Amino acid sequence: MQLSSITPKATLALCLAGASQAYADSVTDPISTFGVIASHNQYKLTVDDESDKERLNQGGLFYHFGNKLTGQEGFIYQAGIEGQYRDKDDVEYKSARADIDLGLRAALSTNNYVDVIVGGGYDWGRIEQDDVGPFDSNVKLTSKSPFAKAGLGYNYLTPDYTLRLEVGARYSINSEARLKVDGESDSVDLKDKVNPYGELTMLWNKGINNLPISTSLYYTQTRYELDSNSAVAERSKLKQEQVGLRVGLAF
């Protein structure tokens, strides 16, 4: 075929088709998302049915990689890591989480998809306080908790944005708390617990300089109980509830 036989209209159609395919690939391919977290935490300690609450704001960073937001039918996945920090009145609060999700997605219609995910990860948290008590002791309380995870997701995909709702639970496994006072430490096992979570995410496919922006509003609940037959352990419970916002740039 001669080059002269390709009309300007045909050339334009080929260019548009190529651009459309590139855009489709950019929407459905795995993406990296890096951004910031702001969260509000409520700690509720209950002893003998009497409760005391502490509220705390934290901030941090996160990074996710996968196609859980962008994928269509078939296999989906996402790996992520995040950390948060706060220093308040000589008390430092630190937390970190790493997890991975694997799942299968099915189409309900052209733009609507549902999926089932399973996964696992690791939670870590630490509270450090100086000058505690009459001897000005330095105290560190560290919690470590591997977990399994299961959830249900719903994705609504359009050329301009993707909306995702996910609800599920994390099941803590072989959790441990370690208390360290002036260099001396002791550890205690925690009971395995089911901890619910929910997350609503919006991926704006046309963001700053055509780079997608992701925003997520989430809720998590974590309960701690000592794995002991003692009377004190049976009467004491600690529950943490966290509401947070993630804002990130996808690339």
Whether the pLDDT of residue 87 is over 90: the answer is: no
User: Of 40 and 231, which is predicted with more confidence?
Assistant: 40
* Tens-digit pLDDT profile for residues 8-48: 444 434 333 333 333 334 457 899 999 999 999 988 877 76
Task: Report pTM.
Answer: 0.81
* Tens-digit pLDDT profile for residues 174-225: 999 888 887 777 788 888 999 999 999 999 987 767 788 999 999 999 988 8
Residue type, 218: Y
- CB-based contact 137:170 (threshold 8 Å): no
Mean pLDDT of the chain: 83
Q: Across residues 227-237, what is the average pLDDT? A: 68
Q: Across residues 109-128, what is the average pLDDT? A: 94
Domains belonging to the chain, first-starting first, are: 31-250 (2.40.128.100)
Assigned token pair, 65? 């990689």
Question: pLDDT exceeding 70 applies to what percent of the chain?
Answer: 82
pLDDT computed for residue 82 by the predictor = 97
85 conformational bin, left if phi > 0, alpha if psi -120 to 50, beta if neither: beta
